[in-house]
Structure 1
Amino acid sequence: MKPNSLRIAQIDSLIRGLITEKKSAGAILGIQVTDNHPVIKTYGFADISMKKEVDKNHQFRIASITKPFTAVAILKLVEDKKLALEDTLDKFFPNFPNGNEITVYQLLSHTSGIPNWYEAKMPKETPPDFPMCFSRQKFISKMSPSSLFPPGTLYSYSNTGYVLLGEIIEMVSGITYENYLQEAIFEPSGMTDTEMEREGNESEQWVMGYGYDSTLENPFIQPEQYAMPFSAGGLRSTAIDLLRFIEALNDDKIITKGLRNSAMSYAKVKDGNDVDEDRFYFPEDFKRPDPPSWMQKYGYGLGFEVMQIHNTEVVSHGGSIAGFRTLLMYIPESSATMILMTNTGNPGGYSDITVDLQRLVTELE
């Protein structure tokens, strides 16, 4: 058996174990190495009650893998000279807290200091469908606290920042976030099955998501219900479409090579240091965790996680949302891309296989 065939068989075995051990209802795997024909494997059920099995055209919630799309959309607007990474937030949203200091670059790299809205106090008038509503920044601007640290000095993962980026895309492009993604990313990439999840636009291609309760004989339960997080995590897609996105990005069909390299490299804080684990923000009473032995470096670029794991450079993004866990990995050295999407939320068994899965992907050649 060829080395890649062996590793793909080992990855396949890991995911099959999730299904047979009832740790995930269903899953889909996509792997592409260089420009070879992609490998797509499906597992388990898209809908348990209907006994509908997962197929290659099923759309999963991709959660925070939405962020690379949002970031690339912003970079396309930069390429078209419709905005600049140095533009400050007050250019778009006058009187926004720290708006004269926070830049588009800092929103992209999670160095703005803006907290997650669900970890802060939102104003009483915030609609229940936030952030799938209009004028999201009006509610975010009244959030308390408005900042965790001075902009550009530290890193703290901010879904709120990516919601603001989605609204900036709409303001600058003059069309909806979804329509801009369609024009700027989906069409050039040949992506035909990626869309924003909204109430009322359900499709038979949508996979059902499940919560997880290990104390039950049938552990798959109704997941938590909440509004989709818009440009921070609201897309649905297929494994094939996500592979097409990375391929188009690397073929410079969406943005220039220079902008792509910026997205897939460590961002910088104001003092010139990389946005990595040494720059992570932690509350004063929180003990900084030690990184695992297999992780040499971990940080963030512009819409992508950037890391050194198992002595290999990896560009990645994960996602977790009600009923779903997702992972995208790209290995620049081998031009290998791996997509894994499962339709069972936390805790499930996704975390049980992550280390072995990532190691096997870094060994593709």
Structure 2
Amino acid sequence: MRVNMRNTIALTVAAITISAAAACSNPNTNTSDIELDKLDVGNYQTMPAAAEAFQNSESGSLREAINIGSHTPLPFEYDHRFEFGNYFGYRQHVTRSEPPDGFDNTGVDAENFNAEIPGLVAGWQTFGQRRFEPDFGRQIKTYTLRFETASAAANAVHRISERAAGENYPIADQPNTITKVTPGVFYGGTMESWTSHHEMLLYIKVGDPVSRPYEAAESASIAKKFFDKQLAMLKDYEPTPLAEIPKLQLDIDNLLAHTLPSEDGRIKSAVYPARVALSLSKYTKLMSNAFTDAGVDYYTSGGLSRVWRARDAAAAERLSTALRNGSLDLIGLRPSGTHPPGLPSAKCYEVDPADPSYANIPPQCFITVGRFAARIGGANMQDTHQRTAAQYKLLTLLK
């Protein structure tokens, strides 16, 4: 399986490299001959949701978490070797109701975080890997967390770091950091480092499962580059006043209102600026190239329906090509040869019976509508076709 994945990565590089030349000669033809009233949308909604549908007690905190994510560096931006991202799809936003769960071996986890570490407001988590598959090279995890006050952030650094295992280790030119190293025996070593900056807690964990002996100095070099980049980016971050956070609107430019919503209340629907959307990607660097080429500014996720806004219609076509050729989630799928009735421009994929290890992956369809590219999944192919038709109709209403 690993050999196949590496081959997929190689194909991904090639596909995204040539995606700029893949646009249709007339990208606007994707809507010209479609009879919208004849599309089979099942029971799915085809009118945009009201703004109030996305507002609840946590929507403002989620919006502030995304704001912090917009001012958080991607790992490849401070170390070009870390081209791969969130392999397992872990949650990356942090709010008071969904606090950090990744401070390993400290006794501080999501269940007791707020009781042990008071004052959390919101934050963002990032991941970086040198290799596509975990445990084949160094890995990075970072937190950029906002607290109510600077003293609360400093207290958080102290209370978490003092419980962490490992030996103290200095990082050059970062005198205010607390850093601990655990060399490891069987699995390899790790370095964890914390610092506070005004009301922010900054954290990085560098895991190295392959180097023997463990190279603490190399991990410290990576940590230093993170802190330098993160501190520079925070200069442009303007914290939303605490009293104003509940008023923050989760939707932007009505994009979420025109994205088919999730039916699972556990799934967070949100609008993400391009930088934050890249943070969610498994192929961070490759998708960055595609986003730059297509001029992507926002991405929305409604669960099984995802929408990207590109520069124009031609750019949306190029982006859709890159996504179809560069998405890990298409491993185990094959072109279905079918499309939603009345929507021949849709590109759909079904489970490949020759690869049963991926049998639980939902079918997928890709569409473009003007400057928007969308990817839609469903329980089965008929359901996916209906969802795709509904998403198509929603996007035709977005000006």
Query: TM-score scaled to structure 2, two decimals?
Result: 0.28
**The structure with more helix, counted as a fraction of residues:** 2
Query: TM-score scaled to structure 1, two decimals?
Result: 0.29
Higher relative contact order (CA 8 A, sep 6+): 1
